[in-house]
Structure 1
């Protein structure tokens, strides 16, 4: 049996590939726990960006319903508490950028795991679907949190209730994702984006992510205070000193993420 999640490091980028292509990378317990383990491995200081994609024709079709119907299956409470919620928490708390490279269908929890990443790019043949209503469930894996913040309340509730299939082009138009690449160049261009992020001042990117995570709940005054605190930390970093020096010397900066 092949590994349900593949993990490799390409220079400064951790490449995570969901690997149940015969099931469109639908999640079962083994795959969910393996993804959590891979995300934990990304705490390594040498890794400065995380790139998540799917094997085969899909990113992830969401939950493997065969597991849900098994007599000795984990049950919905365990699936959320032990499978998906820890994945979403890890994605948001990792102090480095996470790129979701959506190569095909992203449905249900698969779609919402992608939307929980920092930057989402998609192949022109990819699609997104809040499939939960089709089987009498509600969106989970942070979907009710992230989607309305990306596309607005009215659009989000319609997409969730109707379960519309959204093309990659439409997802980009709605602001759900960052960019669409043609299928022929998708793998190259999306990984290139991850390497671009990995070569940047990743400590500053981590502080940016931290500030954005807090912005949904903070008042303006609280957010200004947080920006102040984080900016002071960023200004004390070696990357800031290098960035300024490189600017003055009219050369490309060489950031080390500290």
Structure 2
């Protein structure tokens, strides 16, 4: 593919996905959405990939949907935007449910669908200069990419309502303070810090981390009894697996575990 909308670089068990439309501020168009799903599937299925990192190129992380493409669709906008959203959502869902940890390294402003991508990380690191905006209602649209699902869970309903209804810009420090992202990193340290976090995760018990991902997502809509049952089943499965046996053996031997 010539000049792909998203590039993939695999190093030391870590897949780096880089949004690669800097001239369009990494906005989402049909090629972008198709490529996201394609690469998400590859990352999920490749046993040599133990952690995935998503970042942007240029000055922006992602400003959301390509509004020029929306306008060009004219009278066919409903069908065109619907098809784009459904394609985009396939990639979002795969990244959210794959059985390996996911890190977002937010190198610049994130808006609309870019906000949805930014907050999708299990660990979301943001450059100090980045900022976050819902942006949808400013152009008469509604959220996509899972924003209406994630925002109330991460920052609470009241803050989610404010972000979506007013499109107020949220700076990096405020975003970290409200739980929208994990923490703020100096701009020139973002890639280094993301690499360090991803390396630690990649060396960890990724099957157990996958079960942690599922438990955390499932807990939102579960009652206590159901969640306790899920936890019991999950820890039992983990204890009987190779990672659990290695972790216990390493603890008793007072040595670092070797999960890889």
In structure 1, what is the Cα distance between the partners aligned to 2:84 and 2:35? 14
In structure 1, what is the Cα distance between the partners aligned to 2:15 and 2:215? 23
Asked if residue 174 in structure 1 is aligned to residue 178 in structure 2, the reply is yes
Which of 59, 81, 86 lines up with 1:81 in the alignment? Answer: 86
Where structure 1 has 5 or more consecutive residues not aligned to the other structure, the ranges are: none
Where structure 2 has 5 or more consecutive residues not aligned to the other structure, the ranges are: none
- Residue 208 of structure 1 and its aligned partner are, at CA, apart by 0.4
1:47 corresponding residue in structure 2: 49
In structure 2, what is the Cα distance between the partners aligned to 1:189 and 1:116? 18
Structure 1: 4+ residue segments shifted above 2 A: 71-74
- Residue 250 of structure 1 and its aligned partner are, at CA, apart by 1.7
Asked if residue 66 in structure 1 is aligned to residue 68 in structure 2, the reply is yes
Are 1:92 and 1:213, in contact at CA under 8 Å, matched by a contact in 2?
A: no
| Aligned Cα root-mean-square deviation (Å) | 1.2
Aligned length: 255
1:11 corresponding residue in structure 2: 12
- Residue 113 of structure 1 and its aligned partner are, at CA, apart by 1.6
> Which residues in structure 2 correspond to 1:20-59 (within 5 Å)?
20-42=21-43, 43-59=45-61
2:126 corresponding residue in structure 1: 122
In structure 2, what is the Cα distance between the partners aligned to 1:9 and 1:224? 37
In structure 1, what is the Cα distance between the partners aligned to 2:62 and 2:81? 18
TM-score (norm 2): 0.95
1:112 corresponding residue in structure 2: 116
